[in-house]
Structure 1
Amino acid sequence: MLHITSSILILFFFFGNFANAQRFDQVEIKTVKVSDHVYMLIGAGGNIGVSIGEDGVFVIDDQFAPLSEKIHTAITALSDRDIKFLVNTHHHGDHTGGNENMQKLGATIIAHDNVRQRLETIKKRDGSSEAKAALPIITFNDELNLHINGEKIGIFHVDHAHTDGDALLYFTKSNVLHTGDTYFKGRYPYIDLNSGGSVDGYINAAKLGLQLIDDHTKVIPGHGSLSNKEEYQTFLEMLENLRFKISAEIKAGKIEDEVAKNDVLTKTYDDLNYGTGFINSEKIRRTFYLSLKAIN
């Protein structure tokens, strides 16, 4: 029976494709205009959100440390004002790797309580704790509102979704939602069960996100191109469809390997190339089984 530990997954996911500086040297940071003053930066790792205006620059996530200079260059092309705040949507390294560099640039880092706790306990390769400068300075439990650049940004914790520290961010005036890794556009998601993630929590996160938006909302997913409500709804339907099918398999007494090898369960979405990302078809079936079996 194949089991992939969280630490191995994280190392593969966050460092496997970018194992050396030369690979990062080839990464280009692309800027996508989302609204009048909200932008999405695409590079290597999680999508970055940027708000610019009279109050300064507000950033969501910061990818990997070696990309900080390129990311900062992309931001300064949008605004010459200082970076005021940075929110981490969760603790994974492709969203928090640049924290220390961003704090040196003046950013005050904000995240859920669990994000700080996990960053504090993550060990670097030399065995030391995560650098203090990389830790969030402001943490929250449930919800937080940030008023900057002429609008309120609602920050909502979603419990036991991708991890145990995920946050959705909704720009109330710009009508933009940043989902962090609670939404992988057109792909099977990575649900980090060993970091507090769960299938039901992930589904509930998508439901909350959809409640916050309307047909005109621009959606910045954790991974993938700029999205919208219709695509986000399709993603939720995929999650609910797999939950129904795999729950039925569990009730029928099937074991993990039987479910993991049964490609009929995910064929509809495999045919739409959902399994071509980091999480392939077998991995998503195994993840759903393990998460749902724990509650059955």
Structure 2
Amino acid sequence: MKLLAISFSLLFTTLSSAQRFDDVEIKTEQLSDHTYVLFGAGGNIGVSVGDDGVFIIDDQFAPLSEKILTAIKALSDKPLRYVVNTHYHGDHTGGNENMANAGATIVAHDNVKVRLKQPRRDGSENPIEAFPVITFNDKLNMTINGEDVAIFHVDNAHTDGDALLYFTQSNVLHTGDTYFNGRYPYIDLNSGGSVEGYIEAVKRGLMVIDDSTKIIPGHGTVSNKAEYERFLKLLETLRNRVNKAIAEGKSEGEIKADTSITKEWDALDYGSGFINSERIRLTFYKSLMGK
């Protein structure tokens, strides 16, 4: 009876997880003659279509794969060739198995494969089909659909396996979760992320773009260089303010409660997303203190 109860519990959890995606609509926005972004639930998906096939960046959650593939088929009747994961989190890699079964080769940084091979929080394991087939350490260059795509790793930013992708002819940059547009970022300290690395990742992204670049953030609407620069200012300002508070001898609890540190962006509702203002102050404190 106990085993039966556990089985029903797992079934209910699985059904509940799938049902929460029933009303999700996959929306498409065109960025250039052959690049697009798909919005759904989870990380924004970059898409390149052309004679060589379909190349996508991230794939959100497994229950959305059918909807995502339908949205892609509306753009191209060519086969799905590649999926590049910007990092390992489930809202960016949850569809890996389904995309692999649909014909895609999964590509990611070395550390993404390492983390995907580790047990999930619930103790379950990812299937082998979800693992990257091609991995890289520092950078990788690919040519597809008539343009060169530069893929480069940024150290210890959102996680320890982040990649940015730049479509050189289309002038489109996909930042993964090293950029949250219009909200506080999630810096996953438990997965190798850090404040300093995150700041350096944004600086690295800014080095390859210009005023005409269209930027696909990990979360939020399509962005541009000016907004990206304002995001960098947010990060550097919070770092400086938290460092100043630490130098003044303020405790973790005092910094966590100090709304003056984040006041400008709280007023813009940056804390309405996954990371609220209290949590971002705590994250900066822990990272800068090396905790």
TM-score by length of 2: 0.93
1:177 maps to which of 137, 155, 173? 173
For 2:267 and 2:64, the matched residues in 1 are separated by 34
SS at match of 2:177: helix
SS at match of 2:132: coil
For 2:36 and 2:277, the matched residues in 1 are separated by 32
SS at match of 1:286: helix
Q: Which amino acid aligns with 2:108?
A: A
For 1:52 and 1:278, the matched residues in 2 are separated by 31
Which segments of structure 1 move beyond 2 Å, counting only runs of 4 or more?
18-22, 122-125
1:95 paired with 2:87, answer no
- 1:137 aligns to what? 133
Q: Is the 8 A contact 1:275 1:281 kept in 2?
A: yes
Bigger radius of gyration: 2
Aligned pairs (5 A) from 1:113-128: 113-123=110-120, 125=122, 127-128=123-124
**Superposition deviation, residue 272 in structure 1:** 1.2
1:77 maps to which of 74, 79, 94? 74
- 1:105 aligns to what? 102
**Superposition deviation, residue 267 in structure 1:** 0.3
- 1:153 aligns to what? 149
Structure 1 pair 193–124 and aligned structure 2 pair: CA distance change class (3 A): closer
- 2:57 aligns to what? 60
- 1:163 aligns to what? 159
Q: Which amino acid aligns with 1:251?
A: A
1:208 maps to which of 185, 204, 208? 204
SS at match of 1:232: helix
Q: Is the 8 A contact 1:124 1:130 kept in 2?
A: no
**Superposition deviation, residue 203 in structure 1:** 0.3
CA deviations over 1:20-55 (Å, ceiling 9, x no partner): 322201000000001110000000000000000000
Q: Which amino acid aligns with 1:78?
A: L
**Superposition deviation, residue 128 in structure 1:** 4.0
1:49 paired with 2:24, answer no
For 2:235 and 2:75, the matched residues in 1 are separated by 36
**Superposition deviation, residue 19 in structure 1:** 5.1
1:273 paired with 2:269, answer yes
Any gaps of 5 or more consecutive residues in structure 1? 1-15
1:257 paired with 2:249, answer no
1:195 paired with 2:191, answer yes
CA deviations over 1:210-257 (Å, ceiling 9, x no partner): 111000000000000111000010000000000000001111111111
Any gaps of 5 or more consecutive residues in structure 2? 1-12
TM-score by length of 1: 0.92
For 2:172 and 2:124, the matched residues in 1 are separated by 38
TM-align CA RMSD: 1.4
For 1:109 and 1:165, the matched residues in 2 are separated by 15
